[in-house]
């Protein structure tokens, strides 16, 4: 009897996991361009739950989806002449942390740590963080996905605004 109950509980919980896919988009192409190719290297996603422990219960954000979301964002922002995961003039390494806190509503904090380098030589490091409030309950996938996507979009907007402000650092390396 206990085994059946445990199996049933595992099946029910497995069906409740929110597997998210996000699609953060820039407002449009930027007016600041850097005529260099960019390689994006996305590190593993670190997640911290409301209990300050690793992981967020019932949430799965596949690394592949996260990486593709970053690449799509950068390609559509059009800051660099080309963007891929292949070797390029510049390399942008990004580490992402997602933290979930709960008071009256769930709050989703995205923290991006990024390093821009050229031929393994660090040029500049960046740190951005944004928090977006979600709903008071996490019943459906959209209750996690929508605030995570919004926080990620704000963080990417902030990161690339800073990178574009440093345009001279990256154009100078080409000359």
What is residue 172's predicted lDDT score, i.e. its pLDDT?
Answer: 67
CB 17 within 8 Å of CB 149:
no
CATH architecture for the domain at 34-172: 3-Layer(aba) Sandwich (3.40)
From first to last of the 175 residues of the chain, give the pLDDT tens digit: 655 544 434 444 445 677 778 889 898 889 999 999 999 999 999 999 877 778 787 888 899 999 999 999 999 999 999 999 999 999 999 999 999 998 889 999 999 999 999 988 999 999 999 999 988 877 666 678 899 999 999 999 999 999 999 999 999 645 4
Sequence-ordered list of residues with C-beta below 8 angstroms from that of 44, at least 6 positions apart, any chain: 63, 95
Calpha distance 144→102 (Å, rounded): 13
Tokens of 69: 């979301």
Nearest to 111 by CA among 123, 125, 94, 136: 94
Calpha distance 13→5 (Å, rounded): 12
SS (H, E, C) the chain: CHHHHHHHHHHHHHHCCEECCCCCCCCCCCCCCEEEEEEEEEEEEEEECCCCCEECCCEECCHHHHHHHHHHHHHHHCCEEEEECCCCCEEEEEEEEEEEEECCCEEEEEEEEEEEEECCEEEEEEEEEEEEECCCCCCCHHHHHHHHHHHHHHHHHHHHHHHHHCHHHHHHCCC
Tokens of 156: 């990417």
| Residue ranges covered by each domain of the chain | 34-172
Model pTM? 0.86
**β-pairing verdict for 80-84 and 34-48:** parallel
């Amino acid at each position: 009897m206990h085994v059946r109950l445990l199996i049933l509980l595992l099946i029910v919980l497995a069906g409740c996991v929110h597997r998210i896919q996000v699609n953060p988009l820039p407002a449009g192409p930027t007016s600041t361009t850097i005529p260099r190719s960019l390689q994006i290297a996305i590190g593993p996603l670190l997640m911290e739950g409301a209990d300050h422990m690793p992981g967020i219960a019932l949430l799965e954000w596949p690394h592949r989806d996260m990486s593709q979301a970053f690449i799509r964002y950068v390609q559509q922002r059009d800051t660099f002449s080309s963007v891929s995961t292949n070797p390029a003039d510049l390399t942008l390494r990004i580490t992402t942390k997602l933290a979930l806190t709960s008071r009256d509503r769930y709050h989703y904090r995205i923290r991006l740590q990024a390093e821009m380098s050229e031929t393994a030589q660090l040029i500049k490091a960046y740190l951005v963080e944004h928090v977006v409030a979600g709903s008071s309950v996490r019943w459906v996938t959209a209750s996690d996905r929508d605030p995570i996507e919004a926080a990620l979009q704000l963080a990417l907007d902030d990161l690339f605004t800073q990178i574009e402000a440093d345009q001279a650092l990256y154009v100078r390396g080409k000359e």
